[in-house]
Amino acid sequence: MADSELYIERRKFKRADKNIHVSYKVVSVPNEIDDIKRQASRKVTESANISIGGIQLLDESELVPAQILRLEFTVEGRKETIVTFAEVRWVAKDSNIKKYRIGIEFLVLKDEDKKMIAELVG
């Protein structure tokens, strides 16, 4: 049996590859108050993909799983900014692009934002 036949999709939601400019601010770092203060400034990065459940960021900074982020972003066809809180679920260094791929899970998302993202994903 070929390796490709063993792959099982574990994602809950369909994803769309989209390059979206995302502004984020770390609001918690487990057990490290000094890091919270140091990382409290807003950073801007880009996404690799998005779904109703979360977004994958591409960033030069290495975030830590379990960090809570405040995200702000806009998507095609919408003027309003989506503002939400999310949790860093995983981080992996991508040597090809010399950035970290960061899996982010939305913790809260307004119904209209979910609907808009669902339309974007298709």
Q: Structurally, what CATH architecture does the domain formed by 12-121 represent?
A: Beta Barrel (2.40)
Q: Which residue from 44, 25, 21 is spatially nearest to 35, judged by alpha carbons?
A: 25
Region 19-34 average pLDDT: 72
The residues spanned by each domain of the chain are 12-121
Q: Which residue from 32, 30, 46 is spatially nearest to 104, judged by alpha carbons?
A: 46
Give the pLDDT of residue 52. Answer: 94
Query: What confidence category does residue 1 fall into, taking pLDDT thresholds of 50, 70 and 90?
Result: very low
Strand partners, 59: 100
